[in-house]
Structures are given as structure tokens and as C-alpha cells.
């Protein structure tokens, strides 16, 4: 409005100046062009001046009236525009508030649905894990049944051959006995069977013992040399992941802030991270509980950042957790890349880096799967170098033999099947596929490097301290081991030593001969293989001792 008045004032002033200039110029021109003035009376001049002044004043008044009218119209128009603008602003503000309220209600409904989906997803995950465990038990039972069936068929064939040989020997011996002695048929039959059985048993045992000792000496010497060379050149660090992680607090007041009003903060945190927060009487400590090491790591990092930031509320918790998850994905991928370059496998598809790094957050019998895979890769590669095989292929197969464990808990199903699908998707060679299947005996070994991977896998798993088991399971395994040994005739006592990796069997020397003791060790080892599950191997030592005691008086 002030600007309008200034403009009107300037226009009015310009109009007045223009009128005065016009009259002055007109008067001057009339003076210049007019003929020589005639003497006029003084009265006419004054009258003209008054008349000019009156006209000028009239024009000025008209200009002022016009300016006032224009100013009034501009002011009224400005008032109308301002009023309309205020009404429009009020209408827009009300619409914005209603829209904001609708958006807030939609967000609350969306968060509620997200929480319901999270809960349903956790239920589905638990059901998938249970189904996978049951499928694994069924497959293991089928494998054992198939192995038993093959053993029975082999024994039946062997028994049929031995019976045929015994029948022929029996006929020959019968003819000889009838020729040189006057024995009855029944007596000759008993004598012949007894003699043939004893001789065949002794000869078979002696020959078997000799061949086995020679093969064992050569095989053990070469195997020990290769294994010791490989073990001397590798020294990995094995990290044991527990199910809980402790986070230190600056003070106990943070416990209340973490819980939040009516528990909103802690519920939001647990829902977003998938862990359980344990807040107890322990001073300045909060415990994160979860069976998933990756979730625990994400929760630990997010909680530490929230404590450092100090702003703990649901929106900030969601922001920090999303940020940590993105950083963790990048960290996992980088960890996989570093592992690949550490083993010299530069041609592995980068798409596998994330899955390799994710193995660090998976455990098998409390053994870190990534460190186990690296250990298998190193051992297989070193043994391949000693034997003149493709060391790079052995390391590659060793690193990827358990790659399916990175996602098997998420998709369900056997980790070998998932590992095969992943490696085929990223163009891995057939030897790697064979290693994934063969190290669980799901298909025969087709490459010598794969055989080394299977051996390295067994070495890494059976190494003392690599895997842990509960005390109850450990004691039951030892009890079952001793129970199996004591079920054989002639066994006086049995002792499980070396944490169940060796069993010492004491036999009665009057009932068991040296040859029978040798066969007894074979039978015990075979029965242990059939009826027990154990890491590594169990050494069976049969001790036959005969003591004679006399006292000098």
C-alpha cells in the first residue's frame, strides 16, 4: 500500500509540473509570434494572469481528486486481495493438517503391519529350521540304511563264495579220509570241518595281518609327512562365537532410556534387530541374546551408536539400525573379497564375495565356518602342492565346499544343494561342485583335488578344540562307546581315553588268542562305525596280557 501511494504522489507531481510548463511555453510563444504589442491597459494583463491561475488551480484540484479516487480504488482492491489471500491460506492450512493427520494414521497402520509381518517371518524361519533338521535326520537315516544294505549284500556274496570253497575242500578231504582211515561219514565230516576251519582262519588272519601292517606302515609314513608339512605352514586363529554379547553403558540411567516409556524403545529395538535385550541388575551392562551372530553384531553396533548419540526414541532407533545394516552388508562383502585375495583366487566371481564373507557369522558345532573353510583351503592346497596336483583348484574347492551354509538357514533345505546352486549360478568349475557333494558322501569323488578337500575337512573338524559339544552329549558318547566294547565275548574291561578318541580293551588271555585279539579289534571298530556318530576317528587298542606270579619263600 505504501508503494502505491508513493507512485500516485510522483504521478501527481509530474502532472502539475507538466501543466505549468505547458502554460509557460504557450505564453512565451504567443509573445514571440505576436506583432508588436499595442499598449493595453494594466487591467487586462492582471485579468489574464488571474484567469490562468484559476485554470491551473482547477486542473490541480481535478488531478488531486482523480489521484485520491485512484488511491482509494487501489486501497480497496489491495484489501480485497489480502482478504482473499488470507482465506486461501487458511483453507490450505486446514487441508494440510487434515492430510498430515491422514498420513500419520497410514504410517501407524504401516508400522503395525510391519511388526505383524516380522513376527510371522520369525515363525516361518523357526518352522523352516525344524523342517530342515528333520529332513537332515531322514537323509542320514536313509544313508545308513543304504550303507547297511550294501554291507549285507557284500557279506552274502562273500559267504556264498566261502561256502562253495568249503564244500569243495570238504569233498576232497572226505575222499582222503575214507581212503586212509576207517572213519564213519559223520566222524570224517566233523574232523574235516574242524581242521579246515582252523587252518583257513589262521592262514587268513596271518595273511590279513601281514598285508595290513605293510600297507599301514607305508600309508601312515607318507600321510604323516604330508599332514605335518601342511600343519607346520598354517596357523589360523579360531574364534568361538557365543550366543550373548555384553554392551557396557556409561551409567545405569541409560537402562531406563533404552527401555523407554511403556517399553516402546526396547520393543522397537528388538523388533528391528531380531534379538533379545536382557536388562537385569548387573551394573552398567546390557546383554544382547541371539543364536544368530550377524544379528548380535548389528544389534551391538546399533546400541553403541544410540548410547553415544544420546537420542533414544523409536524413529532414531529405526534410522540407526538401517544405517548399521547397510554398513554391515558392505563389511561382509569386503571380508569375502579379502579372503579370496588372501588365498590367491582372483578369478572368483565377485557375486560370491558377499556369501563368503557371510560365513564368518555362521558356526558349525561352535566352529566358525569361514575360518574352517580357510583352514580347509590352506590344508588342501598345501597337500596338493606336495603331491604335484592343482593347488589353486584345491584351495578354491576347499573355500567353497560349505558356501551353502551362508544362506541355508534363510532358504531352508540342504546346504550342499544350495551351495551347488550358488556355484553353478556364478560359473564355478565342476571340481568345486563335486567337492560340495562329496565331502558329505552324497556322490563319489571324481577329482584327486576333491579327495584332498575331503581329507582337509575331516582334519579341520577333528582337530582338538575345533568343535565343542555339551557335557551331557560327551558323557553319553563315552558311555555308549564303552558299552559297545563290553558287549563282545572275552572282554574283561574297557576304558575310553583321550576325550573319547581312543578306547582300550582288556581281554581275558585264557579266552582270546593273539589272532582272535586281532580280529576282535576289527570287529569292535566296525561296530563303532555302524552304531555311533563322532568327530574324527576312534582308535581301538586291544590288550592281551598273560602274567605268571610266583613267590620265593
> What integer pLDDT is reported at residue 93 of this predicted model?
87
For residues 327-355, average pLDDT: 88
Whether residue 430 is predicted with pLDDT greater than 50 in this model: the reply is yes
pTM score over 0.75: no
Whether residue 463 is predicted with pLDDT greater than 60 in this model: the reply is no
> What integer pLDDT is reported at residue 134 of this predicted model?
84
17-31, 317-331, 463-477: lowest mean pLDDT where? 17-31
At 499, the pLDDT band (50, 70, 90 cuts) reads low
At 177, the pLDDT band (50, 70, 90 cuts) reads low
> What integer pLDDT is reported at residue 192 of this predicted model?
65
Say how many C-beta atoms besides its own lie within 10 A of residue 3's C-beta: 7
Q: Distance of CA 395 to CAs 335, 443, 444, Å?
A: 17, 20, 19
Average pLDDT, the chain: 78
CA distance 338 to 328: 15
For the chain, percent of residues with pLDDT exceeding 70: 76
> What integer pLDDT is reported at residue 40 of this predicted model?
46
From the candidate CATH numbers 3.50.50.60, 3.40.50.720, 3.40.1390.10, 3.30.1370.10, the one assigned to the domain spanning 244-325: 3.30.1370.10
- Cα 185 to its chain centre, rounded Å, is 76
> What integer pLDDT is reported at residue 5 of this predicted model?
55
> What integer pLDDT is reported at residue 28 of this predicted model?
46
> What integer pLDDT is reported at residue 212 of this predicted model?
67
> What integer pLDDT is reported at residue 235 of this predicted model?
41
Whether residue 432 is predicted with pLDDT greater than 50 in this model: the reply is yes
Whether residue 311 is predicted with pLDDT greater than 70 in this model: the reply is yes
Phi, psi of 292 (to 5 degrees): -95, 110
Q: What is the pLDDT of residues 45-90, one digit of tens each?
A: 788 888 888 888 888 888 888 888 888 888 888 888 888 888 888 8
At 313, the pLDDT band (50, 70, 90 cuts) reads confident
| Fold classification of 350-462 (topology level) | Hypothetical protein af1432 (1.10.3210)
Whether residue 239 is predicted with pLDDT greater than 50 in this model: the reply is no
Q: Give yes or no for a contact between 262 and 226, defined as CB atoms under 8 angstroms apart.
A: no
Whether residue 191 is predicted with pLDDT greater than 80 in this model: the reply is no
Whether residue 242 is predicted with pLDDT greater than 60 in this model: the reply is no
Give the torsion through C-alpha atoms of 508, 513, 514, 516, to 10 deg.
Answer: -100
> What integer pLDDT is reported at residue 240 of this predicted model?
34
> What integer pLDDT is reported at residue 497 of this predicted model?
79
CA distance 192 to 169: 9
In the chain, where the domains are located: 2-146, 244-325, 350-462, 469-553
Q: What is the pLDDT of residues 451-460, one digit of tens each?
A: 888 888 887 7
Domain 469-553 in this protein, CATH class: alpha beta
Phi, psi of 68 (to 5 degrees): -65, -40
CA distance 400 to 392: 12
Q: What is the pLDDT of residues 358-400, one digit of tens each?
A: 888 887 766 788 888 898 899 889 989 888 889 899 999 898 8
Q: What is the pLDDT of residues 277-310, one digit of tens each?
A: 888 777 888 888 887 788 888 888 888 888 888 8
Q: What is the pLDDT of residues 149-173, one digit of tens each?
A: 888 888 888 888 888 888 888 777 7
Q: Give yes or no for a contact between 258 and 269, defined as CB atoms under 8 angstroms apart.
A: yes
> What integer pLDDT is reported at residue 236 of this predicted model?
41
At 182, the pLDDT band (50, 70, 90 cuts) reads low
Q: What is the pLDDT of residues 13-57, one digit of tens each?
A: 556 565 555 555 555 444 444 454 444 455 677 888 888 888 888
Amino acid at each position: 500500500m505504501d508503494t502505491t501511494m508513493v507512485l500516485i504522489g510522483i504521478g501527481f507531481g509530474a502532472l502539475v509540473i507538466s501543466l505549468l510548463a505547458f502554460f509557460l511555453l504557450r505564453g512565451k510563444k504567443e509573445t514571440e509570434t505576436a506583432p508588436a504589442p499595442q499598449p493595453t491597459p494594466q487591467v487586462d494583463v492582471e485579468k489574464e494572469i488571474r484567469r490562468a491561475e484559476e485554470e491551473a488551480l482547477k486542473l490541480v484540484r481535478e488531478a488531486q481528486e482523480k489521484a485520491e479516487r485512484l488511491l482509494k480504488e487501489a486501497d480497496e482492491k489491495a484489501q480485497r486481495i489480502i482478504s482473499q489471500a488470507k482465506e486461501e491460506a487458511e483453507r490450505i492450512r486446514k487441508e494440510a493438517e487434515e492430510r498430515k493427520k491422514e498420513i500419520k494414521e497410514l504410517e501407524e497402520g504401516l508400522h503395525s503391519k510391519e511388526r505383524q509381518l516380522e513376527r510371522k517371518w520369525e515363525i516361518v524361519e523357526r518352522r523352516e529350521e525344524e523342517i530342515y533338521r528333520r529332513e537332515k535326520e531322514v537323509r542320514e537315516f536313509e544313508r545308513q540304511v543304504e550303507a547297511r544294505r550294501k554291507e549285507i549284500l557284500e557279506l552274502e556274496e562273500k559267504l556264498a563264495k566261502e561256502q562253495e570253497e568249503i564244500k569243495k575242500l570238504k569233498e576232497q578231504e572226505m575222499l582222503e579220509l575214507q581212503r586212509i582211515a576207517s572213519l564213519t561219514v559223520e566222524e570224517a565230516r566233523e574232523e574235516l570241518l574242524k581242521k579246515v576251519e582252523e587252518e583257513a582262519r589262521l592262514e587268513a588272519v596271518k595273511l590279513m595281518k601281514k598285508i595290513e601292517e605293510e600297507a599301514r606302515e607305508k600309508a601312515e609314513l607318507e600321510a604323516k609327512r604330508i599332514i605335518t608339512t601342511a600343519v607346520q605352514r598354517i596357523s589360523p586363529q579360531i574364534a568361538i562365537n557365543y550366543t550373548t554379547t555384553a554392551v557396557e553403558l556409561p551409567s545405569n540411567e541409560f537402562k531406563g532410556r533404552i527401555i523407554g516409556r511403556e517399553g516402546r524403545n526396547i520393543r522397537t529395538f528388538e523388533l528391528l534387530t531380531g534379538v533379545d535385550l536382557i536388562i537385569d541388575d548387573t551394573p552398567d551392562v546390557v546383554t544382547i541374546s541371539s543364536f544368530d551372530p550377524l544379528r548380535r553384531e548389528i544389534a551391538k553396533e546399533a546400541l553403541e551408536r544410540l548410547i553415544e548419540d544420546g537420542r533414544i526414541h523409536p524413529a532414531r532407533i529405526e534410522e540407526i539400525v538401517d544405517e548399521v545394516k547397510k554398513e554391515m552388508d558392505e563389511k561382509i562383502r569386503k571380508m569375502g573379497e579379502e579372503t579370496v585375495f588372501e588365498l590367491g583366487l582372483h578369478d572368483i566371481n565377485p557375486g560370491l564375495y558377499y556369501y563368503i564373507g557371510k560365513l564368518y557369522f555362521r558356526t558349525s558345532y561352535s566352529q566358525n565356518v569361514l575360518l574352517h573353510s580357510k583352514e580347509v583351503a590352506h590344508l588342501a592346497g598345501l597337500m596338493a602342492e606336495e603331491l604335484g596336483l592343482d593347488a589353486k583348484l584345491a584351495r578354491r574347492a576347499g573355500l567353497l565346499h560349505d558356501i551353502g551354509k551362508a544362506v541355508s538357514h534363510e532358504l531352508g533345505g540342504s546346504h550342499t544343494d544350495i551351495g551347488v546352486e550358488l556355484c553353478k549360478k556364478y560359473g564355478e568349475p565342476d571340481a568345486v561342485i563335486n567337492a560340495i557333494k562329496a565331502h558329505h558322501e552324497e556322490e563319489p569323488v571324481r577329482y584327486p583335488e576333491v579327495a584332498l578337500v575331503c581329507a582337509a575337512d575331516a582334519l579341520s573338524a577333528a582337530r582338538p578344540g575345533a568343535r565343542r559339544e555339551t557335557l551331557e552329549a560327551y558323557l553319553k558318547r563315552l558311555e555308549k562307546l564303552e558299552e559297545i566294547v563290553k558287549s563282545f565275548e572275552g572282554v574283561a574291561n574297557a576304558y575310553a581315553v583321550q576325550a573319547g578318541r581312543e578306547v582300550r580293551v582288556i581281554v581275558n588271555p585264557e579266552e582270546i588268542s593273539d589272532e582272535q585279539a586281532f580280529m576282535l579289534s576289527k570287529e569292535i571298530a566296525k561296530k563303532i562305525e555302524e552304531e555311533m556318530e563322532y568327530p574324527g576317528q576312534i582308535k581301538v587298542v586291544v590288550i592281551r596280557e598273560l602274567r605268571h606270579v610266583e613267590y620265593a619263600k
